[in-house]
Amino acid sequence: MIPFPNIDPVIFRIGPLVFRWYGMMYLFGFGSSFLLIKYRLNLERKVLKDEQIEDLFFLLVLGLILGARIGYMLFYDFEEAVSNPLSIVAVWKGGMSFHGGLLGASAAGIWFCRKHGVPALALADIVMITAPIGLGFGRLGNFINGELWGRITGLPWGMVFPHAGSLPRHPSQLYELGLEGIILFIVMWSARHRLKKPGQMTALFLICYGFFRIIAEFFREPDPQLGFLFGFITMGQLLSSLMIICGSWIMFIISGNDRVKRRN
């Protein structure tokens, strides 16, 4: 068993202001993603002006945060959302869903593209390359906070988390950091020159993230208010399965269009 590091979630305080590692991870993730998106868009010969890139990123972050919170309440705590609708805005209580965040950011991105006449799939391909960066930092923040821990294990690297009882558990946050953050970024970055048709990188992200998340969910403790669906599957695995289906459908449509063009 490996002892949990018990890192103080508070970095420092300045009067009433409290700077926490979890929030800092979000800042690192958003900042790194912004710089990489800007770099990639500049390589695309100024698809967008600098001020448009800033507007785009603001909308994506806003859509991500709103979608993540609303998605969590709808997917993981629906009864609470129905009985107490104001709980949706109670972000200080915790509870964010990546799948909801993806839907929110997608809606914001589509709105931006329609407003500025930008091809949505081509822009999504550029943005999706950066998504694993934010995911990785977010999972690191979960680990520092000692939240979203894994299932009970007897493996030598099991950890006893502060609020998860006395039994060692999988450090599933680190598994997700490796799968959804590091490995997924390597896959996406390596494929950027090979998958050049609009939508292919987006489809690759949906498929790979869905696959990695399903694997990680086998080690992660399900949300207590929801537990297992149908007795054997988690909500995260169900939503990730839909991502794989959606990504496969996009890839199939693109491949089908290519076959039609070759015949003509």
Give the per-residue pLDDT at 45: 56
Please compute the mean of the pLDDT values over residues 166-184 and round it to a whole number: 97
Distance, in Å, from the CA atom of 5 to the CA atom of 2, rounded to the nearest integer, reads 9
**Confidence class of residue 258 from pLDDT cuts 50, 70 and 90?**
low
- pLDDT band with cut points at 50, 70 and 90 for residue 128: very high
pLDDT digits (tens, 9 = 90+) for 39-88: 888 776 556 777 888 899 999 999 999 999 999 999 998 888 888 888 88
pLDDT score of 264 more than 70: no
What residues pair up with 20 in beta bridges, in sequence order?
A: 10
Q: What is the mean pLDDT of the chain?
A: 90
In this predicted model, which residue has the larger pLDDT, 107 or 118? 107
- Give the pLDDT confidence score for residue 256 in this predicted structure: 75
Quote the CA–CA distance of 141 and 81 in Å, as a whole number. Answer: 26
Residue 196: predicted pLDDT: 86
pLDDT greater than 80 at residue 94? no
Terminal CA-CA length for the chain: 63
Mean pLDDT of 136-155: 93
Backbone angles phi, psi at 9, to 5 degrees: -65, -20
More confident residue, 253 or 94: 253
Give just the sign of the alpha carbon dihedral 22, 27, 32, 38. positive
Q: What is the pLDDT of residue 151?
A: 97
User: In the structure, what pLDDT confidence band is assigned to residue 210 with cuts at 50, 70 and 90?
Assistant: very high
What contacts 80, CB < 8 A, 6 or more positions away? 73, 87, 225
Stated pTM of the model: 0.91
pLDDT on residue 260: 55
- pLDDT of 85 reads 84
Q: Cβ(138)–Cβ(29) under 8 Å? A: yes
Query: Which tokens sit at 96?
Result: 């964010």
Residue 84: per-residue pLDDT: 85
Separation of alpha carbons 176 and 140, rounded Å: 9
Q: What is the pLDDT of residue 92?
A: 63
Phi, psi for residue 151 in degrees, rounded to 5: -80, 165
Alpha-carbon span 164 to 147, nearest angstrom = 9
pLDDT at residue 255, as a whole number: 83
Q: What is the mean pLDDT of residues 210-218?
A: 97
Provide DSSP, the chain.
Answer: -PPP----SEEEEETTEEEEHHHHHHHHHHHHHHHHHHHHHHHTT-SS-HHHHHHHHHHHHHHHHHHHHHHHHHHH-HHHHHH-GGGGG-GGG----HHHHHHHHHHHHHHHHHHHT--HHHHHHHHHHHHHHHHHHHHHHHHHHT-S-B-B--STT-B--TTS-SS-B--HHHHHIIIIIIIHHHHHHHHTTT--STTHHHHHHHHHHHHHHHHHHTTBPPPTTT--BTTTB-HHHHHHHHHHHHHHHHHHHHHHHHHHHHH-
14, pLDDT greater than 90: no
Residue for token pair 């502060």: 162
Q: Kindly give, in sequence order, each residue whose CB lies less than 8 Å from that of residue 76, ignoring residues fewer than 6 positions away.
A: 95, 97, 223, 225, 226, 235
Please give the C-alpha separations between residue 141 and each of 20, 21, 98, 146, in angstroms, as whole numbers.
Answer: 9, 6, 14, 9
Give the pLDDT of residue 236: 96
